[in-house]
Amino acid sequence: MKKAYYIMAVFLLLLGIGLVILPDREHYDEASPRELLSDLRNPSRFISTDKVAEMIIDQDPTLLLVDVRDMYDFLDYSLPGAHGIPLEEILMYKWVDSLSYDRSKIVLFSNSDILADQAWILLKRENHNNIHIMKGGLNCWFETIIQPSPPAETAANEEIDLYQFRKGASIYFLGGAAPVEQETGSQTVIVKRKNKTKVVEGGC
Amino acid sequence: MTGPLIPMGIIGQGWDLVIALLIGMAFGYVLESAGFSSSRKLAGVFYGYDFTVLRVFFTAAITAMVGLLYFGYMGWIDLSMIYVNPTFLIAAIVGGLIMGLGFIAGGYCPGTSMCGVAIGKIDAMVFTGGMFVGILIFSEAFPLIQGIYESHSLGAVKVNEVLGLSTGTFALLLIIVALLAFIITRIVENKVKKVEY
């Protein structure tokens, strides 16, 4: 028998022994259940619609909006600049580069929180960082940003400021012009004539 | 994690048949080069004068097994995404017997018969014709044999899981079995009268 066969046999045996000795690394690149639970409890995984609106208006370069609804819904309506990555495709290799860019703040959204939450868990298990969920999804976006309801007259200043911001954001996203309060009716100009003062007569 | 390439979306699903065709052509070329288009060489495994078939396929199996396990360990392939054929116990035994009988009688298995056809072997053409007749009979008689076909379904089980062994231990045992088979078949070959073909 050729010497090469013996060498190959020994090589195969060594590889086989290696497989027995090597520790199990089957799930080495996934987040542990403990880490996942800790992240799940952390409220900072949610981001408000106001904050998202602010970042879009400021054209924040670190923001990466990801619409996890299906493509039909995405093409129908989505947030400006959002990427459409359906939930079923979120772990596909073609999106790895987009989603693993460390300096991005990835904000996932769907109609409500449900799909975005599922996508968040999938990505977190794959150890992606800086992933957030837009709280309330697009339903909340419509309620707060597109059609904000005015606060009560007795509301605190912060609430009124927030409403003003939302009104401004609504105009920004709907592409309209800021409403200008129209002056109603013509005003009559009352000219007040000054009484002529008498010139001082006489002199020195 | 980068593999498997098609389920991970690296290669589009539309390419799977094209890739299958290319791999099939390469496989056919290697089979032909190894002399597997000769029915006498193939049938030799049953008569004890040529165990090349056993050695080649066993080597291929353990090489692929070791390669996949190390790729999985390195994180280059997600082994949970590899398709595992479901096991139908009775169907596998009956099918194995029919296949074995056909192999001894005809001197070919389905893949090697195509190699024989490609180089113009008449026995391979007859074998392939018989194979298609068999497929036709199976398809037409399927409602009658469906019960046997689908009985004793075990799902996508792996041998090491059934035996309660770790993947690594089973792999090592299989390598040892393969090496022992290579040695024993060589001894048998030396003792059996040489057949010229």
Could you please report the per-residue DSSP string of chain A?
Answer: --HHHHHHHHHHHHHHHHHHHSPP-TTTTS--HHHHHHHHH-GGGEE-HHHHHHHHHTT-TTEEEEE-S-HHHHHHS--TT-EE--GGGTTSGGGHHHHT-TT-EEEEE-SSSHHHHHHHHHHHHTT--SEEEETTHHHHHIIIIISPPPPPTT--HHHHHHHHHHHHHHHHHHT-PPP-PPPPSPPPPPPPPPPPPPPPP---
pLDDT band at residue B169, thresholds of 50, 70 and 90? Answer: very high
pLDDT at A204: 46
Same-domain pairing of B70 and B134? no
Q: What is the mean pLDDT of chain A?
A: 81
Asked whether residue B90 falls in the same domain as residue B76, the answer is no
State yes or no: pLDDT of A81 exceeds 80.
Answer: yes
> Is pLDDT at A71 greater than 50 in this prediction?
yes
Quick check: A180 pLDDT over 60? no
Average pLDDT score over residue span A109-129: 87
Name the band, by pLDDT with cuts 50, 70 and 90, for residue A52: very high
**Same structural domain for residues B168 and B76?**
yes
Rounded to an integer, the average pLDDT of A7-29 is: 81
Q: For residue range B67-122, what is the model confidence (pLDDT) as tens digits? A: 999 998 888 888 877 888 888 889 999 999 999 999 999 999 888 999 999 999 99
One domain, residues B62 and B99: no
Confirm or reject contact between A94 and chain B (CB < 8 A). Answer: yes
Is 0.80 surpassed by the pTM of this model? no
d(CA B69, CA B48): 33
Listed in sequence order, the residues at least 6 apart from B189 whose beta carbon sits closer than 8 Å to its beta carbon are: B48, B49, B50, B51
Q: Quick one: B168 and B130 in the same domain?
A: no
**What pLDDT score was predicted for residue A37?**
85
pLDDT at A53 over 70: yes
Question: For residue B14, what pLDDT is reported?
Answer: 82
Residue B2 has pLDDT above 80, yes or no: no
Residues B77 and B173 in one domain: yes
Asked if A90 and A108 count as a contact pair (C-beta separation under 8 A), the reply is no
Of B9, B75, B172, nearest to A94 by CB-CB distance is B9
Structural domain boundaries enclosing B29: 1-82+164-197
Assess whether pLDDT exceeds 80 at residue B167: yes
Report the pLDDT averaged over residues A103-117: 87
User: What's the structural domain count of chain B?
Assistant: 2
pLDDT at B1: 56
Q: Which of B13, B51, B65, B66 to mutate to test the interface with A (most CBs of A within 10 A)?
A: B66
Task: Tell me the pLDDT band of A195, cut-offs 50, 70 and 90.
Answer: low
Domain membership of residue A193 (yes or no) is no
Q: What is the pLDDT of residue B47?
A: 87
Convert the pLDDT of each residue in B32-80 to its tens digit.
988 888 888 888 888 888 898 899 889 999 999 999 999 988 888 888 7
Residue A154 in any domain: the answer is: no
User: Which residue in chain B is spatially nearest to A8 when comparing CA positions?
Assistant: B179
CB contact, 8 Å: A11 with chain B? no
More confident residue, A199 or A136: A136
Total tally of structural domains belonging to chain A: 1
Identify whether the C-beta of residue A146 lies closer than 8 Å to the C-beta of residue A174. Answer: yes
User: How many Å lie between the alpha carbon of A62 and the closest alpha carbon of chain B?
Assistant: 26
Same domain for B91 and B153?
yes
Residue A168 lies in a domain: no
Are A19 and B182 inside 8 Å of each other by CB?
no
Of the candidates B1, B172, B182, which has its C-beta nearest A29's C-beta?
B1
Q: What is the pLDDT of residue A178?
A: 53
In a domain, A125, yes or no: yes
Residue B62: its chain A contacts at CB < 8 A?
12
More confidently predicted of A29 and A127: A127
Q: Are residues B147 and B184 in the same domain?
A: no
pLDDT of residue A187: 59
Residues B161-182, mean pLDDT to the nearest whole number: 92
- Mean of the per-residue pLDDT values for chain B? 89
Tell me, what's the pLDDT at B24? Answer: 92
Task: Check whether A203 has a pLDDT greater than 50.
Answer: no
Question: Does B138 score more than 80 pLDDT?
Answer: yes
* Residues B48 and B140 occupy one common structural domain: no
Mean per-residue pLDDT for A152-163?
87
Residue B117: its pLDDT value, please? 93
C-beta atoms surrounding A55 within 10 Å: 17
- Could you list the residue range(s) of the whole structural domain that residue A96 is in? 39-136
Residue A153 covered by a domain: no
Please report whether residue A89 resides in a domain.
yes
- Per the CB < 8 A criterion, the answer to whether B85 and B143 are in contact is no
Q: Does pLDDT of B184 surpass 90? A: yes
Q: Which residues lie closer than 8 Å to B134 by C-beta, 6 or more apart?
A: B102
- Specify if A121 maps to a domain: yes
Best mean pLDDT range from A24-28, A102-106, B147-151? B147-151
Q: Are residues B53 and B97 in the same domain?
A: no
Whether residue B4 is found in the same domain as residue B73? yes
Are B126 and B70 in a shared domain? no
Which CATH number do you get for residue A86? 3.40.250.10
Q: Is the ipTM of this complex over 0.85?
A: no
